[in-house]
Amino acid sequence: METVHMDPSSVIPMTGFDDPVQGSQRVFRQVLDAMSHPGKIVRIQDLDDAPQPLNKSTAAICLSLVDFETPLWADSEIASNGEAMNYLRFHCGCPVTQDPMEARTALISDAAALTGFSRFSPGTDERPEMSTTLIVQVNALTQDGGLTLSGPGIETTRTLGVDGVSSAFWDAVRANNALFPRGVDLILSVDEHIVCLPRTTQVEG
């Protein structure tokens, strides 16, 4: 893993939160709400803009949760974009790794190509918290879709629709659930909204 510094000759990245402390705390609470209620669509509205290909909710989560102790991995579309990577390095101060197994946070812009999670760390039975959290950018989220979710944080069941992922993605989600207490945690993001699918969530449909 290497710590990659921002190119000093590059343009200063666009601004992050207007108030970094308050903004970070608000987004943290919003993510906690989404993680505590899997499948619930939660609005993240603390950023006016973000550098492409990052959407606003992905950028806000990174600014809130990613820091110098959080190795970051990004897929090729994000990693090859100098503006996006400079933005993350400048605002988060995070080490960047080219090995997804080393990452505590992974950014996925091409959700359709994500068909499995085996290259990311599932943690261990003794230390499941050492797993990777995947932030996956999707095309759309709807609360009345064809998926049925159950598990901790869901009173009975919750329905969800996700546009932009393959059927193999959902096979991987089911396999991930079977690994518990190991497994990755997922944050699906689109524009100003997110849905969390922790490893404890069961998905049918």
**What pLDDT does 12 receive?**
54
Those residues with Cβ within 8 angstroms of residue 64's Cβ, 6 or more apart along the chain or in another chain = 23, 24, 25, 27, 28, 31
CA distance 86 to 52: 12
Which residues in the chain land under pLDDT 70?
A: 1-13
User: Which residues, 6+ apart, have CB-to-CB distance to 118 below 8 Å?
Assistant: none
Query: Which of 70, 46, 83, 51 has the alpha carbon at shortest distance from 193?
Result: 46
Go through the domains of the chain in sequence order and give each one's CATH number: 20-204 (3.40.50.11310)
CB-CB contact of 180 with 198 (8 Å) = no
Write down the pLDDT at residue 136.
98
Query: Nearest CA to 79 among 63, 103, 60?
Result: 103
Threshold 0.75, pTM exceeds: yes
Tell me what pLDDT residue 47 has.
82
pLDDT score, position 20: 86
pLDDT at 8: 44
Distance CA 93, CA 107 (A): 16
